[in-house]
Amino acid sequence: MPKTRQILRLRHELGLSLREIGQACNCGKTTVSEILMRAKDAEIVWPIDLSDKQLMSRLYPPTETRTSTHKPDMEYTFCEMKKKKVTLMLLWEEYKEKHPGGIMYTQFCDRYRKFKKVNKISLHKEHKAGEEMEVDWAGDHISYVKPGTGEIMAASLFVAVLPASAYLFVYAFVYAIVRKNQIVLLNEKISEEDELKIFPTLAGE
């Protein structure tokens, strides 16, 4: 779900504050306030009966007096995409805030893909089926709103992939315990007593 739609949903459906929405969507209160104001000016009400493309067109309409379209800086976009938590949607929204009459999201993505294809350096590596599996934690925690209570929760994304087939497994764990290269993944918080049962050899530490 695009960040703009998520912001509107959290505001109108769950009634969260600007700060809470910013934490859930990983953006500042200024950005949240700006999007809510644009939605109000565009007379957008929740629930939204618009596609993502239509929603962004309403939030960031082109100027009628435009004589030329300001081209996005793809070199800047390429460098920013290497940073954590940065997405093409976020960079396009930043571009549209500076240039309301600029190109739409689909064109922005198309230009980025072409720029990336020309400038990205890659190394081909062959993987034999059944010999390898790669696992890792996918960056920072993600946030989600707990149904029923509206509480903002954090979860860790565990990712495993089979390189030969690119078969992917992703799971969000609310709690994880790490002890001497041993990892226990849980979806319920446990007490210290239960933790000692999981790690009996570490009970004396």
Q: Tell me: the pLDDT tens digits for 137-166?
A: 887 778 888 888 888 888 888 899 998 888
Task: Evaluate if residue 185 carries a pLDDT over 60.
Answer: no
Percent of the chain with pLDDT over 90: 24
**Rounded Cα–Cα distance for residues 137 and 56 (Å):** 32
Q: What is the mean pLDDT of the segment spanning 182-205?
A: 48
CA torsion, ordered 11, 12, 13, 19, to nearest 10 deg: 10
pLDDT of the residue at 203: 40
This prediction's pTM: 0.39
For the segment 88-113, the average pLDDT, to the nearest whole number, is 91
pLDDT over threshold 80, residue 176: no
**172-202 residues labelled b (16+ CB within 10 A) or e (exposed):** eebeeeeeeeeeeeeeeeeeeeeeeeeeeee
Listed range (93-107, 158-172, 178-192) with the worst mean pLDDT: 178-192
Q: Which neighbouring-strand residues pair with 171?
A: 158
Tens of pLDDT, residues 17-59: 999 998 888 888 888 988 999 999 888 988 888 888 888 888 8
Output the pLDDT for position 108: 94
Instruction: Specify the DSSP class assigned to residue 166.
Output: T
Helix/strand/coil for 205: coil
The stretch 130-134 carries a mean pLDDT of 87
Q: Which helix (H) or strand (E) holds 117?
A: helix 105-119
Strand pairing of 142-145 and 152-162? antiparallel
Concatenating the DSSP letter of every residue in 19-38 gives HHHHHHHTS-HHHHHHHHHH
Asked if 62 and 103 touch (Cβ cutoff 8 Å), the reply is: no
Q: Using only the alpha carbons of the chain, give its radius of gyration.
A: 22
Q: What is the pLDDT of residue 158?
A: 85
